[in-house]
Amino acid sequence: MSGTTTAIEEMTLSGTKGRITISTIAEPYGPKSESVASIGISLKSDANEPEWKVHIPKANIDQVIEALQKAKSTI
């Protein structure tokens, strides 16, 4: 994966020593590829090596936020 990563926020993964990281990545899949928001989950304290990552295109961010709010209300 190429691209420029910009850190936005980092927080503790509740109930663990892990971290949740939010960043943006410009040109994540090479030149002219669409920028994405990236969410990384690290189960250990090293947020630089997340076990899981998801890339969300800008066009889907509002939908994902809405779905997460719905999920939150059911927990």
From first to last of its 75 residues, what are the pLDDT tens digits of the chain?
A: 578 999 999 999 999 999 999 999 999 999 999 999 999 999 987 767 889 999 999 999 999 999 999 999 999
Residue 53: give the domain boundaries. 4-74
Q: What's the whole-model pTM score?
A: 0.85
Our measurement of the distance from residue 1's CA atom to the centroid of its chain's CA atoms, rounded to an integer in Å, reads 15
DSSP per residue, 24-44: EEESTTSTTPPPEEEEEEESS
Tokens of 46: 């090293």
The count of other CB atoms within 10 Å of the CB of residue 5 is 13
Overall domain count for the chain: 1
